[in-house]
Structure 1
């Protein structure tokens, strides 16, 4: 599902940038891997997953029980709600171009803070909705990220993408009271 979110955001941002750019080529890419070191594509916007965080605040009261629409109760592993931290890096030969594209990225996500199936039919059926939140890091945290990437700073914006939900695909049916009653009578009688 994470790859579907990345592909969707890449495609939507790419389409937006093509509409607002004189060149009609795709300038949004996934990160490149050059040998053992990370590198960013030149004259492009690169998406990079920085962190995954579990969202615990919306957990159900009984996380291992679920009632289906037909009224049957099943045992399931609780769903996992994830927030993805995605870094959008604008790397262009001309620093002014980098800033221009960074501004376009921020403008795009400001105009499209929530992605739903109603507004964006290309959103995967596996994803209910995405909410984009710009994250402002202190200088020390930014420094740690770029040091961890072993790369020099490039104009970039970090977004928290809420929520990608992973659900248990194989729930186990729970025994009903009448099933238990029959087993007990059969055992004792």
Structure 2
């Protein structure tokens, strides 16, 4: 569910920016910021780059049960519990030189969009076939030290950016790991 979530966030961001600025091309891309050589990737020039930074399990949704199951009429199917993740992402605005101010305006627009749309209903998206069809988006404030560490690890120059936490992204494993037949009778011996 990580890839469909990021793709959906990219798509709704592009739709919003096309409406806001009448762009004739997608401005938000999911990509690495730099090549293996450390050079900035050419495909991200004049783009907003959606970068996956990391993830964590949502502690409030942690299931204490080691299994969940369903009674199929013939028995109990044991399945692994759903894990809900929080994804940390960054919108990196790579508008340079004469387009720098436009990039700042685009960044402000992205912030306004997700401020207004903190809960996103993905009901109409077929990639989200699970019961939890809403994801939340929360602005993350990073200290300067953490921000500099991220830029150092990525290996690119500091540009305008904003970080978000995307919550309640489920990882579902529907594989049956055990099977318990139903109780047929309860006789005392």
Same fold (TM over 0.5): yes
Q: Determine the structure 2 residue equivalent to 1:176.
A: 182
Which has the higher mean CA deviation after the structures are superposed, 159-168 or 34-43? Answer: 34-43
- State how many pairs are aligned: 180
Which has the higher mean CA deviation after the structures are superposed, 39-48 or 135-144? Answer: 39-48
> Is there any run of 5+ residues in structure 1 with no aligned partner, and where?
none
User: Is 1:35 paired with 2:36?
Assistant: yes
Q: TM-score, normalised by structure 2?
A: 0.83
The structural deviation recorded for 1:56 is 2.6
> Is there any run of 5+ residues in structure 2 with no aligned partner, and where?
none
Change in CA separation of 1:124 and 1:19 when aligned onto 2, cut-off 3 Å: same
1:75-114 Cα distance to aligned partner (Å, 9 max, x none) = 1112211111111011112221121011011011111111
Alpha-carbon distance in structure 2 between the residues aligned to 1:111 and 1:45: 19
The answer to whether the 8 A contact 2:70-2:77 is kept is yes
The answer to whether the 8 A contact 2:70-2:76 is kept is yes
> 1:106 is paired with a residue of what secondary structure?
helix
Q: Determine the structure 2 residue equivalent to 1:108.
A: 113
1:1-189 equivalences in 2 (<5 Å):
1-32=1-32, 33-37=34-38, 39=40, 41-68=44-71, 73-93=76-96, 94-118=99-123, 121-122=124-125, 124-126=127-129, 128-171=133-176, 172-178=178-184
* Structure ID, larger Rg: 1
Q: TM-score, normalised by structure 1?
A: 0.83
Change in CA separation of 1:22 and 1:125 when aligned onto 2, cut-off 3 Å: closer
Q: CA RMSD in A?
A: 2.5
4+ residue segments displaced more than 6 Å? none
